[in-house]
Amino acid sequence: MTAPAPIPATTSASRFVAPVWLWSFVGAALVWGLSVAVAGQGAGGMLTTALAFSVFTVMVGLGQMAVVTLGPGNIDLSIPANIGLASAVAMKVMDGADGMIAVGLLAALGAGVAIGAFNYLLIWLLRIPPIIATLSASFIIQSVGISYGRGLQIKPPPAFTEFTLARIAGVPILFPAAVILSLLAGLVLHRTIYGRTVSATGQNMRAARLAGLAVGRTRLLTYILSGALAALCGALLAGFSGGSSLSMGREYLLASIAVVVLGGTSVAGGRAVVTGLWGGALFLFMISTLLNTAGFGSGLRDVLTGLIIIAAIAATGSREGTR
């Protein structure tokens, strides 16, 4: 009788290894406790505020995550300009009238879809890296936004403002809406042909093409998805903050990348982790709150966020190399 084969050490050890996305929530919880202790504020109030602001970060993070999953070099740097232009489009179309809210949202989404398609058109036609294409597109979008908005500050319709600021039992109403959006994104990325093609493209684009997958169409749809989510974020931000601004999306470039990396999505492509976006978004907000309480400026927050991204990428690369 032959002896049973020994169980590999990695298999037995893996049972005690937490999911990669869990660490972002652990970090958020630790910083949350430290922020409450330093600021002396109520823990519940800080958490609900974090949920309110994390909604927008998660929204753009979902689009950025899908783009990053396409493989190395894929990233959408046009998100800040997209947010600014979409907010202006939404507010000008709504023009302060409650009856034009739906039309304004559709107009903003249309602008986002056009931006996403334009990004991929640059990548496909000019054969330039996505990081260069989307960065170039962002300057064009900013110029269009300046010409379109002309510095006008149009207030959102009262009903739209009430909706974006509304709370149920202290919880922002946008939070459950964003959770539902996250669940849908998870289903699409993990349970549909489109989502599996995104992952296959990120793992090996040439192999995906040889397997007969619609790689080009999938990449186009992914950049359109990122553009649409950034545009929706811009419209909702305008209602939340009381008006549009071409610079309101500036902080979401670094944030959208940070939550993707912190949430466990592979920067090498091929693996998306939707759940971790929430942990990453909460962690970033708590870090920002802690630094604000300690009296540090936005410059240091950006430096720290960049260092966090570098550390997360280094840790991810080390872990994947070990595997």
The vertex-37 CA angle with 33 and 43, nearest 5°, equals: 60
Please choose, from the candidates 269, 258, 271, 239, the residue with its C-alpha nearest in 3D space to the C-alpha of residue 60: 258
Q: Selecting from 3.40.50, 3.30.70, 3.60.70, 1.10.3470, what CATH number does the domain 44-322 have?
A: 1.10.3470
Going from N- to C-terminal start, the domains of the chain cover 44-322
Q: What tens-digit pLDDT sequence spans the chain (323 residues)?
A: 444 444 444 444 444 455 777 887 888 888 888 877 776 666 667 788 888 899 999 999 999 999 999 998 899 999 999 999 999 999 999 988 999 999 999 999 999 999 999 999 999 998 899 999 999 999 999 988 888 766 567 789 999 999 999 998 888 999 999 999 999 999 999 999 999 999 999 999 999 999 999 999 999 999 999 999 999 999 999 999 988 888 888 889 888 998 998 888 888 888 889 998 999 899 888 888 777 777 776 677 778 777 777 776 676 655 554 44
Token digits of residue 144: 């269009």
Within 8 A by CB and 6+ apart from 88, the residues are: 145, 148, 149, 244, 246
